[in-house]
């Protein structure tokens, strides 16, 4: 139980330590990160679609 | 006399440079040769069998691609003294950091399974049972990393890199026509026309040249080795040499299968080795040994890439220069990924083909992110200072990254939907 608590407190600590991005959020950086988000959402949606397709076909 | 004095001086200077390189050599050449892992060997063997020598020119184009991407990790590691995972957490915050770390863990573990698939298949040709291969590999890898010195690990890995050159004598044994190689291989062409299958093969070759774990591995290795800004030129040379070696080895594999197995459908490198055994016992044996070596080298590097990344983020001691007692979590992660991946191969009827395909798809989600972060980090003048990307480097790097992102995405999509482009 203690090990779990330590693990989660470590994760909380990491989240706090890296809570803010250090790189200056210029227009180019913002655009790149937004494009990456859109890309990943589209790709994950495609994977879910494929997974459902395989599941339905058995 | 003056001439001989100058000759001696030049020779001494050159020898000094070679000795210095042998000290610095490592991360670049190891990561590049390890990139010719079990999956890579399979792709090259299948490419040669399918298209003969016709795609050699395309492989040669991948030399600068591999160099430009990996060179950025050398600069980033030497300047920031941080691994790639930590650089992403620090630069872009916890959300992107966790995304990259968890994705890396998943991709690495699945790739590790494919390395074990390759190694067990290679040794099964010699009658070695899979359980024995898995056990021997784990013991061998334990010996390599438990010496408590990065230097030992690196030099042993370089030895395995040298074994990867086994394909070169193999190619000479099959007596290929040099004229045909030059005529068909060096002039850009698409044999049989540019169709869906050709596109799939081109993308597969790109996919095996740049993998997400390579970025994480080389940057962490640069940090663990203790390379400084002044070592960057040597790091660049090491990476350039590595990119040449990896592609040259790939070309020789294509020459072997293109000469002997042209027109045969190849699904795995082990199958190629078995087919080659029928024609030339030595060449088949070389391919099988090379496949085992490729899987082993890939496994060593991939499991380390994950352990380094975890150590960086969780703040554990994470250096090969530490003993097990000093860095228990680092070694625990290393052996956990290794042993579990090895055990999956031993499960009867495990969906190994599905896992192999899944690796390619999941890698596509991490690769663009890792490459975009890499370019952005290299443009952070506050951290990189004089080592920041120049305009030319951004244009070349940006072009390569965009091309890899587009092509690897299409590759991932064609793996999921094979009939999309046919």
DSSP codes joined into one string, chain A: -HHHHHHHHHHHHHHHHTSS--S---HHHHHHHHHHHHHHHHHHHHHHHHHHHHHHH-
Between A16 and B208, residue with greater pLDDT: A16
pLDDT tens for each residue of B375-418: 999 998 888 989 999 999 889 888 888 887 887 777 777 777 77
B369 in reach of chain A (CB within 8 A): yes
**What's the confidence (pLDDT) of residue B58?**
92
Chain A partners of B380 at a C-beta cutoff of 8 Å?
Answer: 23-24
Instruction: Count Cβ–Cβ pairs < 8 Å, chain A vs chain B.
Output: 54
User: Residues 1..58 of A with a Cβ closer than 8 Å to B: which?
Assistant: 10, 14-15, 18-24, 29, 32-33, 36, 39-40, 43-44, 46-47, 50
Task: Flag whether the pTM goes above 0.90.
Answer: no
Q: Quick check: ipTM above 0.85?
A: yes
Question: Is residue A31 classed exposed, middle or buried when 0-12, 13-18 and 19+ CB atoms within 10 A define those classes?
Answer: exposed
Mark yes or no for CB contact B90/A18 under 8 Å. yes
pLDDT tens for each residue of B182-219: 988 888 888 777 777 787 788 788 878 888 888 988 99
**Which of B90, B315, B369 lies closest to A36 in CB terms?**
B369
Mark yes or no for CB contact B382/A18 under 8 Å. no
Tell me if B239 sits within 8 A of B71, measured CB to CB.
yes
* Nearest residue on chain A to B85, alpha-carbon basis: A18
Confidence of residue A58 (pLDDT cuts 50, 70, 90): low
**What's the confidence (pLDDT) of residue B148?**
65
Nearest CA-CA partner of A14 in B115, B88, B332, B37: B88
Tell me if B210 sits within 8 A of B404, measured CB to CB.
yes
Nearest CA-CA partner of B301 in B418, B158, B199, B89: B158
- Measured torsion, CA atoms of residues B304, B305, B311, B313, in degrees rounded to the nearest 10: -170
Question: How large is the average pLDDT for residues A5-13?
Answer: 84
Mean pLDDT of residues grouped by 10 in chain B (422 residues)? 75 78 79 85 87 92 91 93 90 90 88 89 89 93 80 83 87 88 86 76 81 88 88 91 92 91 79 81 87 89 86 82 84 90 86 71 76 90 90 88 80 75 62
Contacts of B8 (CB under 8 A, 6+ apart): none
């Amino acid at each position: 139980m203690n090990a779990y608590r330590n693990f989660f407190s470590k994760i909380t600590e990491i989240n706090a330590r890296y809570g803010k991005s250090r790189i200056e959020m210029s227009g180019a950086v913002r655009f790149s990160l937004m494009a990456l988000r859109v890309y990943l959402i589209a790709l994950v949606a495609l994977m879910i679609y494929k997974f459902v397709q395989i599941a339905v076909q058995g | 006399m003056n001439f001989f004095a100058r000759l001696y001086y030049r020779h001494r200077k050159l020898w000094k440079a070679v000795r210095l390189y042998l000290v610095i050599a490592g991360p670049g050449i190891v990561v590049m040769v390890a990139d010719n892992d079990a999956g890579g060997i399979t792709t090259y063997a299948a490419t040669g069998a399918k298209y003969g020598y016709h795609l050699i020119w395309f492989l040669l184009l991948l030399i600068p691609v591999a160099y430009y991407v990996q060179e950025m990790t050398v600069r980033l590691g030497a300047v920031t003294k941080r691994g790639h995972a930590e650089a992403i957490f620090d630069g872009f915050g916890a959300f992107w950091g966790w995304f990259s770390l968890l994705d890396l863990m998943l991709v690495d573990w699945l790739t590790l399974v494919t390395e074990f698939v390759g190694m067990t298949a290679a040794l099964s040709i010699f009658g070695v049972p899979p359980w024995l291969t898995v056990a021997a590999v784990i013991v061998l890898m334990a010996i390599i990393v438990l010496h408590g010195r990065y230097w030992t690990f690196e030099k042993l890995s370089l030895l395995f890199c040298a074994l990867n050159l086994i394909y070169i004598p193999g190619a000479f044994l099959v007596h290929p026509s040099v004229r045909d190689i030059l005529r068909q291989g060096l002039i850009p062409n698409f044999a049989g026309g540019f169709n869906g299958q050709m596109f799939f093969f081109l993308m597969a070759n790109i996919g095996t040249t740049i993998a997400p774990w390579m970025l994480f591995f080389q940057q962490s290795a640069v940090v663990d080795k203790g390379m400084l800004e002044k070592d960057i030129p040597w790091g660049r040379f090491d990476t350039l040499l590595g990119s040449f070696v990896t592609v040259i080895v790939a070309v020789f594999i294509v020459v072997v299968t293109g000469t002997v197995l042209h027109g045969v459908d190849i699904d795995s490198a082990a199958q190629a080795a078995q087919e080659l055994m029928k024609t030339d016992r030595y060449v088949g044996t070389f391919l099988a040994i090379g496949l085992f070596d490729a899987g082993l080298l890939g496994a060593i590097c991939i499991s380390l890439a994950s352990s380094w990344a975890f150590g960086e983020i969780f703040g554990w001691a994470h250096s090969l220069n530490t003993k097990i007692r000093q860095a228990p979590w680092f070694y625990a992660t290393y052996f956990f990924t290794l042993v579990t991946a090895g055990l999956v191969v031993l499960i009867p009827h495990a969906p190994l083909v599905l896992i192999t395909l899944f690796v390619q798809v999941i890698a596509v989600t991490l690769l663009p992110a890792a490459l975009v972060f890499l370019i952005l980090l290299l443009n952070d003048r506050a951290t990189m200072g004089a080592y920041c990307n120049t305009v030319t480097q951004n244009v070349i790097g940006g072009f390569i990254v965009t091309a890899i992102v587009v092509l690897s995405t299409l590759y991932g999509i064609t793996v999921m939907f094979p009939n999309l482009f046919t």
